[in-house]
Each structure stands twice: as C-alpha cells, then as structure tokens.
Amino acid sequence: MKKCTFIFIWFVLTAVLLPACTGPRSIRPDLVNPELCRLSFYGTPRRYIHALDAELPGGVCMTVIGVSVVDPESETLQAAIMTLEGLVLFDATASSSTLQVHRALPPFDGDLFAAGLMRDVRFIFMVPADPPKVTGITDDGASVCRYQDTLGNTLDVVVYPGNGWVIEQYSSFGKKLRSLRFDTLKNGIPSMLEFEAFAPKPYALHMRLLSVEPVSPDTIN
Amino acid sequence: MKRTSPILRLFFLCLCVVLFSGWSGSWDTLQEESEKLISVSARFTQLKDTRILARPLVSTGRFYFKAPDSVRWEYEAPVQSILLMNEGSVRRYTQGAKGLTEDASAALQSMNVMLREIVLWSRGRFNESTTFTAELKPGPETVILLTPRDKGLEKVITSIEVELVPDKPGVISKVTIGEGAGGVTVLRFSDVVINAPLSDSVFRRP
C-alpha cells in the first residue's frame, strides 16, 4: 500500500511539474550567424511608446501607455507607465546595477514591482552583449541563439524562416520565466510585441508601437 | 488592483469636475449657472509632458455631458477608448488586440462611488467639496485654481488650473493638471456646444 501511495504521489508530482519545467527547446547544434539573432532594434538607443493591453493576475485587463527609453550599450533604461488620461503611475531608471524609482502609484508601488518591471523591460528590449553560448537549429527549421547568464538562466532567441521571432527565458531549473513574440518588422522594429511573464505572478502584455525615435544616451536619467 | 481605484477615481474626478461646472467668474453665480447646464459636447486635445518624453504626447477625442449624470469621455487617438458614465454605472471600452473590449478592472467599478461627488460638483457646489479647495485667480482671464486638500492626493496631483473662454460663461478653454516633478497634462477644448440635444444612445455601450 505504501509503495502504491508513493508511486501515485510521484506520478502526480511528475504530471504537475513536468509541463512547468520542460526546459528550453531541443536544438541540433549548428552554425548560426549571431547577427541573425541581433535585430537592428537591439542596437541603437531609442525611445519607444507603446499602447499596452495588460492581462493581469485575476483576469483583470487594463490598457495603459508605456514609454521605454533604452540604451543597449550602457545597459541603462528608463520606463514609465501612464494612463490614457496622462496620469503617470510609474517612472523609474535602471542600470545593470542600480534602480531609481522616481514615481510609483498604486498598484505599481509594491516593493518588488519596480525591480520586476525593469527586469521585464530589459528582457524585451535588450539581448546579452556576449556571443551566444550555443547556436543550433530546431526540428521545425528555426535558428536558435542560446545565451546563458551568470545565474544559470537560459535565454533563447529563436528566428523562424518566415520572419517570426520568439525569445524565451528559462531558469536554471528549466522553468520558463518570460517569453516575447513578434512577427512583423517595420523599418527593422516590431510593430506588435506579445510579452508573457510566467513567474512569480503570470501576466501578459500586448504591446502596440505608437512611436519610436532615436535618443542620445545622455538623455536617460 | 483594488488599490488602483482611489487614484484613478480622483484623477477622473479632476478631469470631470472642471468640465461640468458653469463658471462665469464669480462664486456667487457659479451654482446658478451650473443649474442651467443641460448638456455639453466638445472636442479636446490632450498634451502630456513628463521627464521621459522629448515632446508632449498628443491625444485627441470628444467629450459629452448630459445632466444630471451622463458622461462620455472618448479618446480617438492614439488609443481608442470610451469611458461611459450613465445611470449610476461606469464602464470603459478600449480598442485593443481583441477589438473593442470592456475594461473589467476594479478601478472602473469603484468609479460608481465617484459619481455622487461629480454630480454634486456638476451642480456648482465646489465649496462643498472635501477633495479640493477652489480659488479664483486674479487677472484679466478667468482662471480657477484647484488645490488638493489632502496631502496624499497632493503627491498624485499638485494642482488643476481651469481657464474659461472670456465672455462665455461655462465654456472651458483649457485645463492644466500638474503632477509635480515637471509632469503636466494640458487639455484644450474646442468646438464646445452647450445645451444642444444629445441622444441617450451617446451614453450607451458602443
């Protein structure tokens, strides 16, 4: 009986945990030009303004305006969230080692919110400067550049032959943390981004580009 | 999400209060003229400036009010969105990836609470507001300065300045909402029509 119970628990745990920890997609190692994974929109300091349709935990949906100023070279970024009426709900600046919150109103004033949001913005607008650790091809013919950070997280940039991009981040345990999808580029920049965060609290953003412009790196403060 | 409601509620309160009031430059006539206001329709241009923007973000739309308590606050660009207040309920519809969908956030549900105060103010009873103090600024233009009574609200909105069209009682030309740290929202109104018939369908679900 005890053995049966153990097997049952093992089976249930496996069934529950496996889908969450399937890990990065399997690839066949192959030579992929890393430049293929480094889209032009990752290279230049820019200011992006997006309409964000947010699907938040609990099925709550809201539409806000997101402004992101990104300098990939210095790895600094500034992000602001405002209502359609113009009320700034959140405004912060982050470098690779610092975070300065200029304004945070409820519900964006939680202790961990700022760090989490800036991490997500960094994920959306920056790819690692270092060359990929591995490159390869998936079964469905997509090219993959696989990066790994010092924490053991894996970042896959997946480029499909038909101009579709998927960027996925996995923890060192193989749990999917974030994903980003886009398929059409206008002047080298995605006009629509589909972002999803899976942990600690799942949420999704449909990001529609309203405007983009180059900026001088010293404008980020 | 429930924590969103007071902030958005007060922000909408700020936007609506200045539009609902018929103000001709004297406190004594405020209430009298407000009672005459049956409907308002106008175009608006919203310019949002804040430290992260190089130039103001421009939004445009239309505003409708029908006494006693119906409001349609509609953005046409850059994001299509309609806020409706009618018969005690508040709903918002936004054009997003899934078409025109209703915003189900708790913030909007709680805006029902706000209606009572808007209705109070639409009757010109500014002096009875527990949220803002109102002051008539001296000068050739008719300008009203609203200041939050509550220090907590002051962190969100530092001031609201309402500019009226000269010699046209009740017609607002410009509203400036200050947020501190250089953040400012300017609403300019045009094509303002007062007391023209407005169909009830304007305030129904699109």
| Residue B35 covered by a domain | yes
Predicted local distance difference test score (pLDDT) of residue B9: 52
| Residue B201 covered by a domain | no
| Residue B190 covered by a domain | yes
**What are the domain boundaries of chain A?**
24-219
Is the pTM higher than 0.80? The answer reads yes
| Residue B202 covered by a domain | no
Please indicate whether residue A136 or residue B130 has the higher confidence score (pLDDT).
A136
Please indicate whether residue A2 or residue A150 has the higher confidence score (pLDDT).
A150
Q: Which tens digits make up the pLDDT trace of A23-78?
A: 898 999 888 887 888 776 677 899 999 999 998 887 778 889 999 999 988 999 99
Q: Do A85 and B97 touch (CB under 8 A)?
A: no
| Residue B140 covered by a domain | yes
E strands along A44-202, which residues?
46-56, 60-71, 76-82, 88-94, 99-104, 134-137, 143-148, 154-160, 164-170, 176-182, 185-186, 189-190, 192-197
pLDDT of A18 above 60: no
| Residue B133 covered by a domain | yes
Q: Which fold has domain A24-219?
A: outer membrane lipoprotein receptor (LolB), chain A (2.50.20)
| Cβ-proximal residues to B42 (8 Å cutoff; 6+ apart), any chain | B19, B62, B63, B189, B190, B191, B192, B193
| Residue B206 covered by a domain | no
Residue A156, CA distances (Å) to A72, A167, A168, A201, B173 in order: 18, 6, 5, 21, 53
- CA–CA min distance A131, chain B (Å): 31
- CATH of residue B152's domain is 2.50.20.10
Predicted local distance difference test score (pLDDT) of residue B4: 39
| Mean pLDDT, all residues of chain A | 86
In chain A, % of residues over pLDDT 70: 89
Number of separate domains in chain B: 1
| Residue B168 covered by a domain | yes
- Per the structure, the complete domain to which residue B115 belongs is given by 4-196
Torsion sign, CA atoms A221, B156, B121, B78: positive
What the block records as the tokens of B31 is: 């209430």
pLDDT of A9 above 70: no
A134 touches chain B (CB under 8 A): no
Q: Do A60 and B57 touch (CB under 8 A)?
A: no
Predicted local distance difference test score (pLDDT) of residue B118: 47
Q: Do A103 and B6 touch (CB under 8 A)?
A: no
